[in-house]
């Protein structure tokens, strides 16, 4: 039995460690920086750095690194040892305040989307003291933000912190109207992370998995997920061992790993932590993904984080559970029990509803990647249309606000904003509407569109800023009102009425929904290239600049990077397919049909007619010809990329390359079921998904 409380956070320079390792005055100065965002004085930084180094060395660390999240979304780090030479040939272990606070990685190899020319590729990383330093692989990790020397933001963390400031500022204004003095409002996030675990031996034989993270070929196995025998099923010993070690590694790093279970698809699992502050939750999720991969390797497994590793069975998402709360722990999305609490809740709820409607495009963009395009709308994940589910009880209340009629579900007593008091809203533990992209689950919202490999910063930047904007508008209006209660009632009624269209409690997977959504005027941005140009629309630029989250050029660069990433992913996938077709699949088909032909000829020579085998040979031969055509067509498409802007190029990949890839796959999968197992050059879905 492990002593979990002792293990938990043992590799983190957390509050407990700070209290014991820092002089009181330094501890207090650091606390002030962490809670109020004040700058850290150099002499304070030096003392903190030295204490951190001593603590890290005690724990066996020899190196330190600034740890940041460049716009690739993948974690970046550059390790330096603490070693400093001294006279006489020896060394001492040193770590200065300057090294703690600021690092200077070469920024030129990270995507900047045209923000700066390579020759002035200087960038620096700055410590984010609100996210604790930690030790991993004998290295002290210092969570940092990443900027260029000209001040442009080059990472995902800085805008997230800015968006948290924005929503905090506006929410505090609103709370003040309810008579509450609040210093800070925090956004909280809990990420449910889905993933696949497969045997490393199978992985090693699949170039598609190795190079692209997903299978580009593969006929469906005779068994899919129709037996519903995997979801919440008993966890197999090998997976259990993986999960146990994963938990231990995560706990050491102070990550609240809590829930684990099998997911719907074979070999699919989920891990969810207890929620925490958004920026920490993002850091923790980034670490979780990395550690999942590493731990899997130690168990002879490979952890697949791609959104759609296998066709025909569910892909993986990452539910972003999101709420806002005060620094004293009040959850602002909790309906509460008294009419006054209800009124405040309704105002925040209205802000979220309006935000999701006004900024549907941004929420869609925040989850737009080549991988996630395979998942959204594939009858397993929410469609690409953003809508909200609020549950029957709450919907009845909202309806009564719009119509002015008493709501049957609600209490009879009237609350001060002129609507009936809210009924008790049960926490939606049963996940009653899994088909909604954005579901209210009792005291938080669950955004279900993000893909499994996403850096969650993107989603939370959009969400925080959009809600901040609505709260700003509400605060402006209500601060100016003579009669607060009357103005509040009017505002809620007006906005709920205006944004009815975004609320949809029906089946989001149904065929009727896109038709209905179109009637409602909701966006249906099916692919990444369709969605991304909305990023820099006038409305969205106005939003982000007003709240100091992005400058217009930072937005343009992000749009550019996302589009390029999409095109690059498809290019790699296309090239991998051509390669696998020519080097593995076509030769396998040729060899198999050759063997069948020989058999037919031999049989014929001794007077046995084998028409069925001859037919099989003819079919595989024809299929081989088709495969050759497909490889050629795909190659031609890949070499015909137009020399245009990033939208044009991404659209080309979507419209001219993707269909060729689908044709090639269909042709290969049709052969896979005909060619003998001994000749098929790679593990099949049955081998991969049902063996572990």
Question: Contact positions toward ligand ADP, by CB under 6 A?
Answer: 188-190, 192, 259, 272-275, 321-323, 331, 429, 431, 443-444, 446
**Partner from ligand ADP, Mg ion, none contacting 609, C-beta within 5 to 8 A by type:** none
In the complex with ligand ADP, the residue whose CB is nearer, 321 or 528, is 321
Which is closer to ligand ADP, CB of 155 or CB of 192? 192
Dig out the tokens for 169 from the structure. 């500022």
**Which listed option, Mg ion, ligand ADP, none, makes contact with residue 272 (CB within 5 to 8 Å by class)?**
ligand ADP
Closest by CA to 451, choosing from 349, 569, 358, 353, is 569
188 interacts with, out of ligand ADP, Mg ion, none, CB within 5 to 8 A per kind = ligand ADP
How far is Cα 68 from Cα 75, in angstroms, rounded to an integer? 6
Task: Decide the pairing of beta strands 102-103 and 83-85.
Answer: unpaired
Told to check if 269 binds Mg ion by CB under 5 A, we report: no
Which of the choices ligand ADP, Mg ion, none does residue 323 contact, using the CB cut-off of 5 to 8 A by kind? ligand ADP
Minimum Å gap between C-beta 576 and ligand ADP is 34
Give the Cα separation of 407 and 405 in Å (integer). 6
What SS3 state is found at 189?
strand
Closest chain position to ligand ADP (CB): 190
- Rounded Cα distance, 436 and 447, in Å: 8
**How far is it, in rounded angstroms, from Cα 170 to Cα 82?**
43
Stretch that binds Mg ion, among 221-229, 315-323, 502-510, 518-526 (CB under 5 A): 315-323
Write the CA distances from 519 to 165, 285, 356, 466, 523, integer angstroms.
Answer: 37, 38, 18, 24, 10
Of 413 and 429, CB closest to ligand ADP: 429
For residue 444, the minimal CB distance to ligand ADP (Å) is: 4
Question: Residue 164's CB: how many other CB atoms inside 10 A?
Answer: 25
**Toward ligand ADP, which CB reaches closer, 407 or 454?**
454
Write the CA distances from 662 to 209, 220, 657, 667, integer angstroms.
Answer: 17, 15, 9, 9
Does 319 participate in binding Mg ion (rule CB under 5 A)? yes
> What Rg do the C-alpha atoms of the chain give, in angstroms?
28
Contact call for residues 333 and 189 (beta carbons, < 8 A): no
Binding mask 449-468 for Mg ion (x = CB under 5 A): --------------------
CB of 11 to ligand ADP, least distance (A): 22
Nearer to ligand ADP, 214 or 319 (CB): 319
Residue with tokens 């343009």: 556
Q: Which residues contact 472 (CB under 8 A, 6 or more apart)?
A: 170, 173, 546, 547
Strand segments, DSSP code E, in 183-300 are: 185-199, 257-262, 268-273, 276-277
Window of 210-218, 261-269, 314-322, 494-502 that interacts with Mg ion by CB under 5 A: 314-322
* Sequential DSSP letters for 383-419: -SS--EE--HHHHHHHHHHHH-PPPTTS-SSBPTTSS
Give 99 or 192: the residue with its C-beta nearer to Mg ion: 192
Q: Quote the least distance from Cβ 319 to Mg ion, whole Å.
A: 4
Residue with Cβ nearer ligand ADP (161 or 488): 161
Residue with the CB atom nearest Mg ion in the bound state: 319
> What value, to the nearest 5°, has the Cα angle with vertex 281 and ends 275 and 282?
150
Residue 590 CB partners (closer than 8 Å, separation 6+): 624
* Partner whose binding site includes residue 190, from Mg ion, ligand ADP, none (CB under 5 to 8 Å by kind): ligand ADP
Shortest distance, position 163 Cβ to ligand ADP, whole Å: 16
Q: How many CB atoms lie within 10 A of CB 34?
A: 17
| Token pair recorded at residue 374 | 């395979």
Choice between 118 and 429, CB closer to ligand ADP: 429
617, interface contact from Mg ion, ligand ADP, none, CB < 5-8 Å by kind: none
Tell me if 444 contacts Mg ion by CB under 5 A: no
Complex with Mg ion: residue 263 or 530, whichever CB lies closer: 263
C-alpha angle with apex 455: 451 to 461, nearest 5 degrees?
Answer: 105
From the list Mg ion, ligand ADP, none, which binds 357 (C-beta under 5 to 8 Å, kind-based)?
none
Which tokens in the block code for residue 447?
């955004």
**Which residue, 321 or 465, is less far from ligand ADP as judged by CB?**
321
Strands 123-127 vs 102-103: parallel, antiparallel or unpaired? antiparallel
For Mg ion, which stretch binds (CB under 5 A), given 131-139, 148-156, 190-198, 390-398?
A: 190-198
Nearer to ligand ADP by C-beta: 189 or 219?
A: 189
Give CA–CA dist 625/646, Å, rounded: 35
Residue 3 or 429 with smaller CB distance to ligand ADP: 429
For residues 294 and 186, the answer to whether their CB atoms sit within 8 Å is no
Please state the closest distance from residue 30 (CB atom) to Mg ion, in A. Answer: 36
Among ligand ADP, Mg ion, none, the one that 331 touches (CB under a kind-dependent 5 to 8 A) is: ligand ADP
Q: Which does 322 bind (CB under 5 to 8 A by kind): ligand ADP, Mg ion, none?
A: ligand ADP
Nearest distance from residue 637's CB to ligand ADP, in Å?
41
* Cα separation, 525 vs 106, whole angstroms: 36
Q: Which stretch binds Mg ion (CB under 5 A): 59-67, 85-93, 186-194, 629-637?
A: 186-194
| Least distance CB 263 / ligand ADP (angstroms) | 10
Q: For residue 414, how many C-alpha atoms fall within 13 Å in the half-sphere facing its CB? A: 10
CB of 288 to ligand ADP, least distance (A): 12
Q: Which does 189 bind (CB under 5 to 8 A by kind): ligand ADP, Mg ion, none?
A: ligand ADP
Q: Tell me how far apart the alpha carbons of residues 558 and 551 are, in angstroms, rounded to a whole number.
A: 11
CB 679 within 8 A of CB 591: yes
Residue 325 CB, nearest approach to ligand ADP (Å): 7
Distance of closest approach, residue 372 Cβ to Mg ion, in angstroms: 17
Q: Which is nearer to ligand ADP, 358 or 446 (CB)?
A: 446
**Which does residue 495 touch among ligand ADP, Mg ion, none (CB within 5 to 8 A, set by kind)?**
none
For the bound state, the minimum distance from the C-beta of residue 272 to ligand ADP, rounded and expressed in Å, comes to 4
Q: Which is nearer to ligand ADP, 439 or 630 (CB)?
A: 439
What residues contact residue 551 under an 8 Å CB cut-off, 6+ apart?
152, 545
Residue 451 binds: one of ligand ADP, Mg ion, none (C-beta under 5 to 8 A by kind):
none
Question: Closest CB to ligand ADP among 334 and 573?
Answer: 334
User: How many residues form the binding site for Mg ion (CB under 5 A)?
Assistant: 2
Tokens 């759609």 found at: 308
Give the range of 123-131, 318-326, 363-371, 541-549 binding Mg ion by CB under 5 A: 318-326
CB-nearer residue toward Mg ion: 61 or 376: 376
Report in angstroms how near the CB of residue 334 gets to ligand ADP at its nearest. 8
Minimum distance, C-beta of residue 446 to Mg ion, in the bound complex (Å)? 5
The secondary structure of 62-109 as a DSSP string is -EEEEEE-BTTSS-EEEEEESEEE-TTS-EEE---HHHHHEE--BGGG
Q: List residues near Mg ion by CB under 5 A.
A: 192, 319
């Amino acid at each position: 039995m492990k002593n979990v409380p002792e293990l938990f956070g043992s590799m983190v320079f957390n509050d407990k460690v700070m209290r014991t390792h820092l002089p009181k005055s330094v501890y207090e100065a650091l606390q002030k920086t962490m809670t109020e965002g004040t700058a850290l004085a150099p002499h304070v930084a030096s003392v903190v750095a030295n204490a951190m180094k001593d603590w890290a060395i005690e724990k066996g660390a020899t190196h330190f690194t600034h740890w940041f999240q460049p716009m690739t979304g993948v974690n970046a780090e550059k390790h330096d040892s603490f070693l400093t030479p001294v006279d006489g040939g020896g060394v001492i272990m040193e770590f200065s305040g300057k090294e703690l606070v600021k690092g200077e990685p070469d920024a030129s190899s990270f995507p900047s989307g045209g923000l700066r020319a390579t020759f002035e590729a200087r960038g620096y990383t700055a410590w984010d003291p609100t996210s604790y330093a930690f030790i991993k692989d004998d290295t002290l990790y210092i969570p940092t933000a990443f900027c260029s020397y000209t001040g442009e933001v080059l990472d995902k963390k800085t805008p997230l912190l800015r968006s948290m400031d924005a929503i905090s500022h506006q929410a505090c204004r609103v709370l003040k109207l309810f008579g509450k003095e609040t210093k800070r409002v925090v956004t909280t996030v809990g990420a449910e992370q889905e993933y696949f675990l497969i045997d490393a031996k199978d992985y090693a034989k699949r170039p598609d998995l190795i190079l692209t993270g997903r299978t580009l070929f593969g006929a469906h196995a005779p068994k899919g997920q129709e037996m519903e025998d995997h979801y919440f099923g008993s966890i197999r010993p090998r997976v259990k061992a993986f999960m146990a070690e994963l938990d231990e590694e995560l706990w050491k790093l102070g990550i609240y790993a809590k829930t684990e279970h099998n997911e719907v698809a074979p070999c699919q699992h989920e891990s969810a932590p207890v929620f925490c502050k958004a920026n920490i939750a993002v850091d923790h999720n980034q670490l979780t993904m990395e550690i999942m991969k590493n731990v899997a390797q130690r168990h002879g497994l490979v952890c697949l984080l791609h959104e759609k590793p296998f066709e025909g069975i569910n892909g993986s998402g990452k539910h972003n559970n999101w709420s806002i709360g005060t620094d004293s722990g009040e959850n602002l999305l909790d309906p509460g029990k008294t009419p006054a609490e209800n009124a405040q809740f309704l105002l925040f709820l209205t802000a979220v509803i309006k935000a999701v409607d006004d900024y549907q495009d941004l929420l869609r963009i925040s989850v737009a990647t080549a991988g996630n395009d395979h998942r959204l709308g594939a009858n397993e994940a929410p469609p690409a249309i953003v809508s909200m589910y609020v549950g029957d009880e709450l919907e009845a209340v909202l309806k009564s606000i719009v119509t002015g009629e008493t709501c049957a579900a609600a209490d009879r007593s009237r609350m001060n904003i002129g609507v009936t008091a809210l009924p008790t809203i049960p926490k939606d533990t049963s996940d009653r509407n899994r088909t909604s992209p954005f579901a209210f689950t009792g005291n938080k919202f669950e955004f279900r569109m993000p893909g499994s490999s996403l850096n969650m910063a993107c989603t939370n930047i959009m969400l925080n800023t959009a809600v901040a904007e609505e709260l700003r508008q509400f605060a402006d209006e209500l601060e100016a009102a003579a009669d607060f209660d009357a103005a509040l009632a009017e505002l809620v009624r007006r906005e709920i009425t205006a944004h009815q269209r975004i609320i949809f409690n029906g089946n989001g997977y149904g065929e009727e929904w896109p038709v209905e959504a179109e009637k409602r005027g909701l966006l249906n941005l099916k692919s990444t290239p369709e969605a991304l140009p909305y990023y820099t629309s006038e409305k969205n630029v106005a939003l982000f600049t007003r709240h100091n989250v992005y400058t217009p050029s930072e937005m343009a660069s992000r749009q550019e990077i996302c589009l390029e990433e999409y095109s690059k992913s498809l290019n790699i996938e296309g090239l991998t397919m051509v390669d696998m077709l020519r080097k593995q699949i076509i030769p396998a088909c040729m060899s198999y049909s050759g063997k069948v032909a020989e058999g037919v000829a031999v049989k014929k020579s001794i007077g046995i007619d084998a028409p069925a085998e001859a037919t099989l040979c003819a079919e595989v031969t024809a299929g081989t010809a088709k495969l050759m055509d497909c490889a050629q067509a795909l190659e031609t498409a890949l070499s015909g990329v137009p020399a245009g802007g990033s939208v044009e190029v991404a659209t080309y990949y979507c419209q001219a390359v993707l269909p060729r890839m689908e044709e090639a796959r269909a042709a290969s999968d049709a052969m896979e079921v005909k060619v003998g197992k001994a000749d098929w050059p790679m593990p099949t879905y049955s081998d991969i998904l049902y063996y572990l």
